[in-house]
Structure 1
């Protein structure tokens, strides 16, 4: 039962990644057919991001009412319907309207699943599951390109991914009984803590949470800025041909996917906090290779891949540490708010660098990344200090323990604890 549910969750993470790269792959054809400027893709992504932020903030309330399993099933169904809506759209306005349920479905399931994994599974699964998100994000462009090459039909590409999402919805629906034992156990653990969903203002008062919000904001800003602007920097500043630069820019995301897979094997031994430190230090090494003043183009190209490897463990580790940092009873609300902050960074910081590149110079690209990394290392270390001595009143799920092992701290005596399966 345990292993079967884990397989279902892995499929759910693939479904999370499937839609994320469709718009970028199809937009050069879509904007011509819809008769809108190329820049209008930004409007669609902003609507999706805004809807995702809203549903992330509501994830605690939704999970409390219907449970993680049902919310996951409903969210994937909502995304499938939205993708089908994209496929039948013949106007830009219709695309914008379907972007709303698209974002709402993505945010709710992302926050709910991250919390569920943080509570019930070992740290390695958080890394591997986010690696599987990368698998989904890598598959969909190939699906879209298949239909674009055959008949220049982006509608069929969206339909194909929508059908896959409908199939995954059916699998999730059948698997609903598998979720109940753990959800019942979780509800029993947290019932005395808070029987009602938390208000956002209440969640924001959690000790150390502001540092986590800024850290995730900076991380997602860094990841998306690198993905969007790395090719332009390599071409314009390091004079690397566009084809080679584009290939290595794509390897940045492959580096993230591979890095999360590798992190899964060492996360149990290192723990979330050391994994974050190691990732950020590796990132700095990658940036150093990018800016190294040498005529050898291999250095900046390899540096970009190392940046991806270093970035890989930061997001999963911060998610997995949430019950440890903020308490089981607060983790769903905390993760929802953290993900909203992450999406804000994804939405606004890459365009900000675009403005800097246009008005000043694209040569500032590595400096921009370093500044974001400095913010990450500062806020994650402050988070560690803030939460180190604040664990007397909540249950801790230790990232260093094996699956199903938890460390329970008595509310009255912080030092009295026992292991339980």
Structure 2
């Protein structure tokens, strides 16, 4: 049962990644079909992100009431319906409405699955699952491109992804009995590489009136905010930096940024194996240091080829941070409030990826895109500082409880 449900969760993570890049891939044609300005895509993106943030914030209460299985099923159904709505949408206002539903569905299922895996499976699965999200995000544009190459049929691309999502929703419906069985079978034994939760910590967290009152939660949320802000900002503005500052051709710059995403995806796959030898906290710290060194390489006035090494190092360094921080949530703050805290963490993560790239764009437009590596270095440094302060707090708490 445990293996069967894990396979379903892996499929769910691929499914999570499929819709994310569709809007960007199809927008050049969608813009012409609807006759709207270019910046409308940004508004749709913000609408999806807003729905995701809202559903993540409230996911704890919803999941605690209805259970992970049911929430995952209904969220998948919402996502599939929203994508089908994109297929039928007669005007841009309908796209806005379906974008809200798409965001609400994505945020709830993301928080639900991450917390379930953190509580019931070992650390390497969390890294591999997020690597499989990258597989879905890679194949989403590939599927869309196949239809757009024939009469710019972007609607057929959305229809295909929608049918895939409906199929997954059907699988999730039939798997509902498995979720409680696996959860009941699994105790708090996360894995040998995760630092144990002390009894005193669990009692302290249970007594807390609100999850946000638990010491260290806000520091953790701060680290998530800057992690996702860095990940999205590098992906969005990396090419512009290479073209305008390093004077590379646009095609070469785009290829170099693809190495960044490749380092991120491959790094997460490899992290799954490294978790057998290193703890989550050590992987988080190591990844942050590698990413910081890579960002410094982008900042220094060195030959352009060094920038390629810098982008790969940033991507490779970022790879273990997000899944390991997610998997540490029950160990850091106790199992009682882990679902609610997971929702908060996902909400601030989406906030970072939604607002920090536009903030960098605003600063760059009023100064120069040369500010890009400075912004990235400072953001990674703040993330590292927040994470280390949290580790100090957790060590003090563990010492007191022992």
TM-score (norm 1): 0.88
Match of 1:45 in 2: 45
The yes-or-no answer on 1:318 pairing with 2:325 is: yes
Instruction: Output the CA distance in 2 between the equivalents of 1:391 and 1:104.
Output: 37
Superposition deviation, residue 364 in structure 1: 0.8
Instruction: Output the CA distance in 1 between the equivalents of 2:62 and 2:182.
Output: 17
Superposition deviation, residue 298 in structure 1: 2.1
Moved more, 6-15 or 175-184: 175-184
8 Å contact kept, 1:67–1:183 = no
Instruction: Output the CA distance in 2 between the equivalents of 1:294 and 1:42.
Output: 34
Instruction: Output the CA distance in 1 between the equivalents of 2:232 and 2:287.
Output: 17
Match of 2:111 in 1: 111
8 Å contact kept, 2:128–2:269 = yes
Instruction: Output the CA distance in 2 between the equivalents of 1:185 and 1:327.
Output: 18
TM-aligned CA distance change 1:384 to 1:188, over 3 Å: closer
Superposition deviation, residue 3 in structure 1: 1.1
Superposition deviation, residue 293 in structure 1: 2.5
Instruction: Output the CA distance in 2 between the equivalents of 1:76 and 1:82.
Output: 10
CA offsets per residue over residues 21-74 of structure 1, 9 Å max, x none? Answer: 000101111111111111111111111111111111111111112211111111
The yes-or-no answer on 1:332 pairing with 2:375 is: no
Superposition deviation, residue 290 in structure 1: 2.3
8 Å contact kept, 2:69–2:172 = yes
Match of 1:213 in 2: 221
Superposition deviation, residue 333 in structure 1: 0.6
Any residues of structure 2 matched to 1:5-24 within 5 Å, and which? 5-24=5-24
Instruction: Output the CA distance in 1 between the equivalents of 2:258 and 2:269.
Output: 17
2:277 partner SS: helix
Superposition deviation, residue 282 in structure 1: 0.9
Match of 1:258 in 2: 266
Q: Which residue among 311, 316, 341 is the counterpart of 1:309?
A: 316
Q: Which residue among 289, 292, 314 is the counterpart of 2:297?
A: 289
Aligned-pair Cα RMSD in Å: 2.1
1:204 partner SS: helix
The yes-or-no answer on 1:203 pairing with 2:203 is: no
TM-aligned CA distance change 1:391 to 1:185, over 3 Å: farther
2:302 partner SS: coil
Instruction: Output the CA distance in 1 between the equivalents of 2:396 and 2:340.
Output: 21
Any residues of structure 2 matched to 1:348-387 within 5 Å, and which? 348-387=355-394
Instruction: Output the CA distance in 2 between the equivalents of 1:230 and 1:187.
Output: 43
CA offsets per residue over residues 137-176 of structure 1, 9 Å max, x none? Answer: 0000011111111110110110010011011111111222
8 Å contact kept, 1:122–1:268 = no
Match of 1:410 in 2: none
1:268 partner SS: coil
TM-aligned CA distance change 1:188 to 1:373, over 3 Å: closer
Superposition deviation, residue 389 in structure 1: 3.8
2:247 partner SS: coil
Instruction: Output the CA distance in 1 between the equivalents of 2:374 and 2:188.
Output: 48
Any residues of structure 2 matched to 1:11-410 within 5 Å, and which? 11-184=11-184, 202-295=210-303, 297-390=304-397
Instruction: Output the CA distance in 2 between the equivalents of 1:166 and 1:99.
Output: 17
TM-score (norm 2): 0.92
Instruction: Output the CA distance in 1 between the equivalents of 2:319 and 2:299.
Output: 21
Instruction: Output the CA distance in 1 between the equivalents of 2:319 and 2:135.
Output: 14
Count of aligned pairs: 387
Unpaired segments of 5 or more residues in structure 2? 190-200
Instruction: Output the CA distance in 2 between the equivalents of 1:207 and 1:21.
Output: 36
Superposition deviation, residue 291 in structure 1: 3.1
1:29 partner SS: helix
8 Å contact kept, 2:123–2:272 = yes
Match of 2:192 in 1: none
Unpaired segments of 5 or more residues in structure 1? 393-412, 416-421
